[in-house]
Each structure stands twice: as C-alpha cells, then as structure tokens.
Amino acid sequence: MFWAKDLECMPREQIQRLQLERLQNTVSRVYERVPFYRKRFDEIGLKPEHIRTLKDIEKIPFTVKDDLRANYPYGMFAVPINRIVRLHASSGTTGKPTVVGYTKKDLKIWSELVARMVVETGVSENDIAQISFGYGLFTGAFGLHYGLERLGATVVPISTGNTERQIMLMKDFGSTVLVSTPSYAMYMAEVAESLGIEPRKLNLRIGLFGSEGSTEEMLKELEKKWGILATENYGLSEIMGPGISGDCHMRCGMHIAEDHFIPEIIDPKTGETLPPGEEGELVLTTITKEGLPILRYRTRDITSLNYEPCPCGRTLVRMSKVQGRTDDMLIIKGVNVFPSQIESVLMSIDEVGPHYEIVIRREKYLDVLEINIEVSDARLLDKFSALEALENKIRQKLKTILQIDAKVNLVEPHTLKRFEGKAKRVIDMRNKNN
C-alpha cells in the first residue's frame, strides 16, 4: 500500500541529498524575497551560501508564531498575493490569527501528501470518506478533502456538528472512513448508541484522526467501539496543515514527508539540537513551499524521531505521538504534568469512560488538581463503598505516575461537555483568583 513508493522508500543518503538541495533553494528564495528572513540573516551575518550541509540548518534562527503575527497578514509570503490561490488561518485563542497562503503548486503538493498519508493507512479509491472536520479557515477539512479526492475516494464533506445526522448519513451512505478529531469520534459513537445503532455494525473500517493529541489507550477504545483501524495523523497550519506526518497501517509512529519538510528535535529550554531518539520540541522547515516557506518553525509540540526502518518498508522517519505542547505542560505544585499522562491513567481503568475534565485551582496559595470523570456505568454511583474504592484506585494510580495528589470526582455518564473539534479538557483557574 504505497502512493509514491520511490519517494517513500528512498535510501537515507538519497533523502538527505534531496533535502539539502531543496533546503539550499528555499534559503536562497526566502533571503531574496522575504524581508523578515533577510533581516534575520543579515543580523547574524548569515548568507545562503553558508548552508553547505544539512547540519548547517542549525545556523538558521528559529521562526515562531509571533513572527507570523508580527507580519500579519501577508508579510512572510514569498510570492505576491495574486499568486496565492487559497488562504487559511489558524484559530488563535487571543489576538490575530496566523494567516497562511498557498500557490497552485502548494495546493497540488498538499493533496499529493495527504493522498500519500491516507494510502499509508490502507485507505483506497474504493473508500467513502466522511469528513467531520469543520470546513472553513481551519486546514483540516480542506486538506483531507482534496487529498482524498486526489486519491479517487468518495468524499462526504459533512463538516462538524449535527451529530445525529452524521450518524444517519454514515449509515445511509455506507461511509468506510471517518475523518475527525479523536474526541469527536468518541462522541459520535456515543450518539450512535443513543440512537440504538451499534457503531461496530456500521461500515466504517478506518479512522483518520488528528488535529489534537490522543493516547494509545484512547485510540484502542475507538478501535473497539467502531470496529476500525484507528490511525493518527499530524500537522499544523503554519507548515501546511494535515499531511505532514501520519501513521502507516503498522501504527508504530507517524512517517514525516521528509522530501518536503526537514524535522529536528530541540531542547525547548536551550534551543540546542538533540540527538535522534531523544524527546524534545519538534522544529520543522518547509523545503518545497512557494507561498509561505518557513525556516525552522518551533511547533511547541513534544515528540521524538525514530530513524529505524519501519516494518512497512518506508524509510521516512517516524515521529512518536505528541506528548503535549510546551505551552500546555501544567506545573502543579512545582511538578510538570502533561494532560496526556492523566488521560493514559484514566483510560487504563475499565470502570471509567473516556470523558474527563482537568481542573486546577489555587486554594490558600496551594495548587489543587481536580479531575472530574464520567463512570461508564451509572449504577456504580449508587454504591457508596464501590465508588469510594474506585476513587481511591484512580487517585493511587495518578499519584504513582504524576507524583502528586489529585482530587477525583466521579460523575454520571453524559454529564461532561462533548467536543466536535479540538477537545478542551483542561480548565486552569489559577489566574482567575479562584
């Protein structure tokens, strides 16, 4: 199951040669065309010709989200706006969004890469793919849409929301592939059940989940509920959107399209490049983009790279699941905690469901971590002793993993908020005088 086997299985030296050539072209182009980069380079006396080896990429300063904001909306584009045929923007929670632009060639490459990524999971032109991402400035829906069409699959551009209708159409159209966030897929299964439809009995066979993190346990749960192969893919608007990396059917790390992006892992504190295999912040450089080429973009996503050959035959490096973002790491009572660690613990306990909420507040100058979590079976809540025993079990397990105490509140099924897009499970009230 390959889309472009010659590109996906290149020997490492060939990948590196291609990367260097494309990196040098990109660096020369941005130096000529983007005042932001020229200024950055000139400030440190760096010239495009100083990039002689791949390792020389480390001489280039990082680009961060604020650089894009400061040059809002089109200041970092490397082509005049009339050559841009599509704009997208990332949803900034505060202030202006970051705007990204694509030329015709960029869009062509984007759909090629998404087609490649979905074929890796086993999707083919015979599939019917329901795209339950929000259409709009978000890159997720359009990215998957054009990639799946490029492959020749049947695309159902249903977007998010109206979940009962999603289930009805999924059944009537015989959708075989679901494209969504993992949290929305979980919610959809619940809605199907409430309609008396067993998700496993529907035609779905592959889930293409992305745009937010998911633990291995969460994906396993989705596989069980829907009777599918739950695969994950990763991307970010600033670099391209979905299609940067994705699971193959072996599900042992997401292959990065290294012929278009150069990944590095850095220590988020010092900015130093870390050796292969070590966990740190992912930094990405685009090497074929025309509209908005970006050098050494700090994604803030924590992951690691595995250069071992994959059993699927691909040589493209694999990135591990994103452990969290440097900016969503919580510091609770001085201890570093990633929400994904909490999710792993919760998902390993049978009596509780995949719906939870993490609340952090400050009481008398002390941080308090509180976790609200739905039990899978409401009857549990009737038995006080069983409930107490379960709360204790969860608290113990959390303590072993996180090294801190958490207050655990078990709540009835279907009472916590559900998400149609990226889930927001952390409520940090410490800055709100609570």
Residues lying near ligand DLL in the complex (CB under 6 A) are found at: 90, 138-140, 210-213, 232-237, 241-242, 299, 301, 322, 325
Q: Shortest Cβ contact with ligand DLL: which residue? A: 210
| Dihedral sign, Cα of residue 116, residue 122, residue 126, residue 127 | negative
Minimum Å distance from CB 328 to ligand DLL?
8
Minimum Å distance from CB 340 to ligand DLL?
9
Which CB sits closer to ligand DLL, 31 or 184? 184
Which CB sits closer to ligand DLL, 322 or 358? 322
Minimum Å distance from CB 301 to ligand DLL?
5
Which CB sits closer to ligand DLL, 144 or 373? 144
Which CB sits closer to ligand DLL, 19 or 299? 299
Which CB sits closer to ligand DLL, 243 or 375? 243
Which structure tokens are listed for 231? 């695969």
Which CB sits closer to ligand DLL, 10 or 298? 298
Which CB sits closer to ligand DLL, 101 or 210? 210
Minimum Å distance from CB 5 to ligand DLL?
24
| Dihedral sign, Cα of residue 71, residue 72, residue 75, residue 78 | positive
Minimum Å distance from CB 383 to ligand DLL?
37
Minimum Å distance from CB 152 to ligand DLL?
21
CA distance 184 to 205: 17
Minimum Å distance from CB 254 to ligand DLL?
7
